[in-house]
Amino acid sequence: MSQFTVYKNKNSGTNKTFPFLLDIQSDLLDQLRTTIVIPLGKYSTVKDQVITKLCPILEINGTRYAALTQQLAGIDRTLLGAKVTNISGCRSEIIDAIDLIISGI
C-alpha cells in the first residue's frame, strides 16, 4: 500500500457514485488492517457537493474527479479494489484539504 494511491471501489452500494477511493494513510502504518480513504466522485456527478479547497479536483485517466474530503473514512484494506494510479503529485492540495477539515485553516 502506498499513500496517495487510487484504488477501485469494490463496494457495489457506493461504487456508482464513488468509483475510486484515495488512500491517504501514511506508509509508516502499512502494518495496520485498516486505512483511511477519501472517496472520489466524477466531478460532473458530485459537483453540488464540492466545496472549494476542501474538495481537490483530480484527473484520472482523462476524467475529472472530486476528492470529497468531508466523507473521509477508515476502512478495512480488503475493501480496496485494484490499484488505478498514484497521485502523489497532488499531495499539497490533498493535505491542504485534510488540514482544512481538521483545523479549519
Domain spans, the chain: 5-103
Is residue 105 very low, low, confident or very high in pLDDT (cuts 50, 70, 90)?
Answer: confident
Over 90: is that where the pLDDT of 1 sits?
no
Percent of the chain with pLDDT over 70: 99
The pLDDT, as a whole number, for residue 19 is 98
Residues in the chain: 105
This prediction's pTM: 0.95
Q: Chain-wide mean pLDDT for the chain?
A: 96
CATH topology for 5-103 is SH3 type barrels. (2.30.30)
Summarize pLDDT for 56-68 with one digit per residue, the tens: 999 999 999 999 9
